[in-house]
Structure 1
Amino acid sequence: MVTTSGIVQGQPSARRREHQVRPGTPVRGIRRIPVNTGPRAEAWLRPYVLGLVALDLTAAVVATLAGSAVRFNDALLAGTTTPYLLLSLVLPPVWVLFVRLGGGYERRFLGIGTEEYRRVAVAGAFLAATVAVGAYAVKFDLARGYVLIALPLIVLLSLSLRYARRKALHRRRRSGACMSGVVIVGHSVGAGDLIRRFRDEIYHGMRVVGVCLPAHESDVTEVEGCPVLGSFTDAADAAALVGADSVAVLACPEMDGVELRRLAWELEKTGTDLTVASALMEVAGPRTTIRPVAGLPLLHVEHPELEGTRRVVKGAFDRCAAALALVLLSPLFLVLSVLIRSEGGGPAFFRQTRVGRGGAEFTVYKFRTMVVGADALKAILQARNEHDGVLFKMRRDPRVTSVGAWLRRYSLDELPQLVNVVRGEMSLVGPRPPLPEEVAQYGHDVRRRLVVKPGMTGLWQVSGRSDLSWEESVRLDLRYVENWSLTLDIQILWKTWSAVIRGAGAY
């Protein structure tokens, strides 16, 4: 049993110290320990926020000066432009203030998700409205050219610089820096699943430093290599002992409303965050809202919008974008067709039956990457399948031609699927289009992927492509189905470029 008798007055508090707990050492029955009751944040957070402030100021200075220079050109130093130069000095700190008021520097939005970007964009809209109303109030004839250049450029530069800083943060997190310590409270099975997810998606910055399990699992000493620190009643003290930044509570009957409230009171004393994971692990975003009913905060889950206006907008966006891409990429199609046919002859395009929305079959189009008659050789190679689940994948498939290997590496073989998108059989973003024999092996849950159109790209492609396990691929596809939005589609399309350029997981 680990006690805290070694912690005395005058020493740094447990929340400020790093404690090394050996995996396999149970820490049951933790006694109360003296802790620092003041506010606390991760060491990386304050410099990160100050850096964002500096970037927003820089964006505003560059944008306002650019607006003045473009609008007034040679007359930049004339007396009539003095108000605009003064405005260019005032706007940067005002812009930072608007971003601050809009929540653009709030800790919970930094580093992941699109909410940070949305709040910056909303702050830009309020800034434009304030400038317009202010100019009208003081009866100042504000030059429209200056406004149309400076204000949108402020938002665009701020978003771009924030994106670059976020990518730098993710790189640091991959090396183990800028992480937040988390203690998980829940059953061992759920805790293990959450630990694996945090490790797989390390850019979220969550490092599990310990687990608290229910009393009936007292024989478990570690979960996925993380030490068990105590039971549910020990959670607050355990978090203080290991210096955790937050406690994540998984849905379980033992942690009812009364226990959660008591835990929140204890964590409040140390400034430790409390998060509660819903049993609906893949449902997030706008589909979930907290509604107070009879004094209880109930989690309301909206049904996914698989029909209606948003689906029509998605279809129109997909078809227009695909048609434009076909026109722009037609010279590349010609070059690739010549390269494919020059290697042993045979057709440049490959047609195959796939399963689309609702189980309807359609013919998918791709550039041919294998030798002619490759399907007949699949049965011979089946024993060498390197993928689990229903998929067949080989890193060095002998059927793939040299040109085909290059096309696969950069996903160029998928480009003819733009025709399927224009025809309405596929979408730009969606689950992977499966083969009929794969669908025949689907379980009940996996068939959920068929309620939307398959896509040329998707969460599976930007998250690892063929390197993903079958279970992980299904989980990502189901996450997309449950949380689809046009914003998510655009985000995935943006990430697809970097995934394709890296070429990782493509074979």
Structure 2
Amino acid sequence: MVASMVSPPKVKRRKQLAGKLLFGVLDLALAALAFYLSWWLRYELEIGPLLTEFQYLPFGFYLGVFTSYLVLILVAFQITRVYRLRRSTGLLDELGRIFLGSALAVFVLIVIFSMYQPAVYSRLVFTYIGLSTPLIIGASRVLFRIGVDMLRRRGRLLEQLVVVGGGMHGKMIMQQVVTQPNLGYRLVGFLDDGHFARGAHFGRIRVLGAVDRLADVVQAYGVERVIIALPATEHRRIADVMDQCKAQGVGFHLIPDLFEIQLNTVDIDSIGGIPIIGLKDGGIVGWDFFLKRLLDTIMSSAVLILGSPVFLIIALAIKLESSGPVLYTAERVGQNGKPFRMYKFRSMREDADELRSALADHNQADGPLFKMANDPRRTRVGAWLRRLSLDELPQFWNILRGDMSLVGPRAPLAEEVAQYEEWQKKRLSVKPGLTGLWQVNGRSNVPFEEMVMMDIYYIDNWSLGLDINLIIRTIPAVLRRDGAY
């Protein structure tokens, strides 16, 4: 959760106001279209009970209702905050507000004109208006988001962003910005408050210097927004950064520290008007666990049944090229540190594990991971399988058994877990997954600490929609072979 502290400069406010006005005009036009379409469906196509000659009402008879509805739709959209969406507001949330606003406008319209002329206007017309308005306006929002998302992925319509602070909160917000281009930020880098050496990097993100270089960085990179991620104990420095942002007309946000408690785990209540803070249960539990397990069971069963011919072809290819087992099994660490046997199609020589120590000097991964782009232990069939991630297909059996999930952190080896820092162990609080944020954001190219931050973000922000989104995004990532080796 990020608390907004100051409005953008005047030019940006004008742009935001112009954008809201444009959406308002567009919504009026689309609401007018929905109204006319509803009248046309009832009186021209006669969808519903057949009309007699005396029951037919020309569109001009509905002009009063039409004008009232256009006013009501704008008022209702203001009430449901359709034009006050945050940058991080999801599509379903926006569509929900549009639906509620449309329903409210139609309800008030029915009440007003039922009292005025209860027996004249067709109830079916009002029903069609209530259905067509959110469909038409909602479709326009979907198309708008698709267009904006395409432009942002091509590097356009992005705000230049700098994060102030290289601690835990700074790392987490940087990871969210990097993995969510739909937010509309281009992360220039971050200003360090003593966590990094001069010229260092956090994964692929540059350190631009110390915090006191903010003014120079804003000018040099055309920074439009700053996120302050400094500890609450540094209140004087925070105030200084805020003053610099105001002086240069740069919008900024402040991440509250709250004694290092993550805000999405906080449950805020009150007793007699006194606010109290508690902690919500962590992890994926209860109804969330049921939904996730149901998705895992359905999809893994479907893949194992429908994909069985592919499994057979791969098994034959492995046996024809080299002797040894078709499947490679390795003990991995699962949820809450529980070990399990993970299955993969064998893509390396039988003595691959014994040769790993001899290749330690060629390791291209950081942290406790071991990765090589051109690993000499791979077989020819294995290299092809790994490029397309087909070697991981047997893990659907692990998913069906309940050892793994479709989406989650990468399943680590015991020796990797032994090297974890305390904060990194949080990734063991859920089942490991076949895919995840790391899979769709670079795979083997993602530095270890960055991968852990992605896993923690996933755990703290889990939803069924997020799982489905990551599953869909995995397919093009695999076909593009992003970071596959």
- TM-score (ref. length: structure 1): 0.68
Partner secondary structure for residue 453 of structure 1: coil
Cα contact 2:399–2:406 (8 A) shared by 1: yes
User: Could you tell me the percent identity over the aligned residues?
Assistant: 32
| 1:251 aligned residue | 230
Residues 505 and 209 from structure 1, CA distance in 2 versus in 1: closer, same or farther, beyond 3 angstroms? closer
Cα contact 1:180–1:245 (8 A) shared by 2: yes
Residues 303 and 134 from structure 1, CA distance in 2 versus in 1: closer, same or farther, beyond 3 angstroms? same
Moved more, 363-372 or 297-306: 297-306
Determine if the alignment matches structure 1 residue 383 to structure 2 residue 358. no
| 1:118 aligned residue | 93
Determine if the alignment matches structure 1 residue 161 to structure 2 residue 161. no
Q: Which runs of 5+ in 2 are unaligned?
A: 1-7
Residues 456 and 41 from structure 1, CA distance in 2 versus in 1: closer, same or farther, beyond 3 angstroms? same
| 2:254 aligned residue | 276
CA distance in 1, matches of 2:311, 2:42: 43
CA distance in 1, matches of 2:62, 2:319: 64
| 1:488 aligned residue | 466
| 2:408 aligned residue | 430
| 2:289 aligned residue | 311
Residues 401 and 56 from structure 1, CA distance in 2 versus in 1: closer, same or farther, beyond 3 angstroms? farther
CA deviation map 1:429-475 (0-9, x unaligned): 11111122322333333222212111111121122111011111122
Cα contact 1:408–1:506 (8 A) shared by 2: yes
| CA deviation after TM superposition for structure 1 residue 329, in Å | 3.7
Cα contact 1:284–1:483 (8 A) shared by 2: no
CA deviation map 1:241-295 (0-9, x unaligned): 99754443333356439974x9879977987534212348997674347778999
Partner secondary structure for residue 402 of structure 2: coil
Cα contact 1:213–1:230 (8 A) shared by 2: no
**Equivalent residues, number:** 457
| 2:152 aligned residue | 170
| 2:443 aligned residue | 465
CA distance in 1, matches of 2:125, 2:184: 45
CA distance in 2, matches of 1:504, 1:281: 38
1:200-279 paired onto structure 2 within 5 Å: 200=178, 203=181, 204-206=183-185, 226=208, 230=212, 245-252=224-231, 255-256=234-235, 260=239, 272-279=250-257
CA distance in 1, matches of 2:436, 2:375: 24
Partner secondary structure for residue 166 of structure 1: helix
| 1:7 aligned residue | none
CA deviation map 1:286-337 (0-9, x unaligned): 4347778999998765342443332233223322333244444445444544
| 2:4 aligned residue | none
Cα contact 1:417–1:456 (8 A) shared by 2: yes
Q: Which runs of 5+ in 1 are unaligned?
A: 1-36
| 1:357 aligned residue | 335
CA deviation map 1:183-219 (0-9, x unaligned): 6656x778985897598558344467898899x99xx
Moved more, 270-279 or 407-416: 270-279
Moved more, 397-406 or 359-368: 397-406
Cα contact 1:44–1:178 (8 A) shared by 2: no
Cα contact 1:433–1:455 (8 A) shared by 2: yes
One of 383, 405, 412 as aligned partner of 2:390: 412
CA distance in 1, matches of 2:331, 2:39: 58
Moved more, 144-153 or 271-280: 144-153
| 1:39 aligned residue | 10
| CA deviation after TM superposition for structure 1 residue 60, in Å | 6.9
Residues 408 and 85 from structure 1, CA distance in 2 versus in 1: closer, same or farther, beyond 3 angstroms? farther
CA distance in 1, matches of 2:384, 2:284: 36
| 1:476 aligned residue | 454
| 2:434 aligned residue | 456
1:68-79 paired onto structure 2 within 5 Å: none
Partner secondary structure for residue 12 of structure 2: coil
